[in-house]
Amino acid sequence: MSKKNKHKKINIDIKNSVILEKSVVKPVDNGGNDDTVNRDLMKYKFWYLAFSALVIVPGLLSLGVFGLKTSIDFTGGSVLKFSRQEGTWDKSAIEQSFKEKGVEIASINLEDGGKSVSIRSKPMDANKNEELKTAITSSTSIQQTSFETVGPSIGGETAKKSLVAFIVACFGIVFYIAYAFRNVPQPFSGLRFGVSAILAMIHDALVVLGVFAILGHFKGVEIDPMFITALLTIIGFSVHDTIVVFDRVRENLGRFKGKNIEWVANYSILETMRRSLATSATVAITLTALFVFGGASIKWFVLALLIGVISGTYSSIFNATPVLVIWEDFLGRRGKLVA
C-alpha cells in the first residue's frame, strides 16, 4: 500500500470513529439537574392525601350506615329468578305469592326494565320452590331462569375464609416488601416502605368497598366470592405498581448521594409515572370493554377491578410515596444526607 493511500485510510477511519461516537447516546448522570425535577410533585403531597380522604369518607359513611349487601354465598338463603316476555313484574303480587306459601322474602330486585326479577328469601328446599314456581309462572310467557340455595353455615364459612385470605395477603405483602427492601440505604427502613405500600393498598380496598356499599343500597348490587377475588386481585395490582416506584426510590437513594428523601421520591415518581400510566391505561381499556360488552354474570366483578385499577394507579403514585416521605419527615430524616 502506498504512503498516500495509507494516509487516506487513516483519515477515513478517524472520520468514521468521530461519526460513531456522536451517534451513540451515552447515559449521563446529571445529578437530576434537568427538566424532570422542575415539576415538584411532592410539594402537594398533603393535597393528594386530602383528596384520597375526600373520596374515601363517603364510602366509609355508606359502609357504616348501609353496610355491604352480601349474596347468599355469605349469608345463606335462596335466590329465585324469573323472566317474562310480556308486561312487567309487580312486587306486591310477588310478595303476596310468597306470603301465601309461608316464605319470608329478604329482597326483590327488578332487572331488564322490569322484565326480569331476582327474589332473595330464607332458605327453602326444592319442593317449596316448585310450589312457588307453579304459583308465579301462571302465564306461558313467564319462566323460572334459576334457583339456588346455600345454607347459613356454608355462607358463614365462606365469609370467614375470605376475611382470613385478605388479612394473610396484607401481612404477607408487608413482610415481603420489608425483606425485598432490606438493603435500602440507611437511615431509611424497608419496613417503612412495606407499611406505606400497605396503607396505599388499604386505600384502594376502601374505595372499592365504599362504592359497592353505595351500589348495594341504591342498586341492590350484592357482593359474592367473585367480588373477593376482585378485591385480592386489586391489592396485588396496587402493590405491584407501588413496588415499581419504591424500587426506583431505593435505586436513586444510592445514586444521588447528598439528596434528601423528598427530592429523591419526587424524581423517582417522575421517572416511573409514564410507565405506570401506560400500563394501567391498557388494563383499564380492556376492563371497560368487558364491562360494556361482557355478560351480566361478570359485570360487577369487572367494575370492581376497573375501580381498583384506577384507584391503585393513583395511590401508588400519589399516596404510597407521599406517606413514606411524610413518615421520614416525622422521624427527622428529611434534609439528612444519604450515607
For the chain, give the mean pLDDT. Answer: 81
Q: pTM to 2 decimals?
A: 0.74
Q: List pLDDT tens digits, range 86-136.
A: 888 888 888 888 888 888 887 888 888 888 888 888 888 888 888 888 888
Q: Distance (Å, rounded) from C-alpha 187 to C-alpha 90? A: 68
Three cell numbers written together for 67: 353496610
Q: Distance (Å, rounded) from C-alpha 276 to C-alpha 244? A: 8
Confidence of residue 31 (pLDDT cuts 50, 70, 90): very low
Q: Distance (Å, rounded) from C-alpha 241 to C-alpha 315? A: 9
Q: What angle do CA 162, 164, 166 make, to 5 degrees?
A: 70
pLDDT at residue 209, rounded to an integer: 94
Kindly state the helix (H) or strand (E) to which residue 265 belongs, with its residue range. Answer: helix 261-293
Q: List pLDDT tens digits, range 35-69.
A: 455 678 888 999 999 999 999 999 999 999 998 88
Confidence of residue 142 (pLDDT cuts 50, 70, 90): confident
Q: Three-class SS of residue 335?
A: coil
Three cell numbers written together for 10: 487513516
Structural domains of the chain sorted by starting position, each given as residue range(s) with its CATH number in brackets? 36-71+154-330 (1.20.1640.10), 77-149 (3.30.70.260)
Residue among 149, 158, 191, 162 nearest 174 (CA): 191
Q: Distance (Å, rounded) from C-alpha 296 to C-alpha 301? A: 10
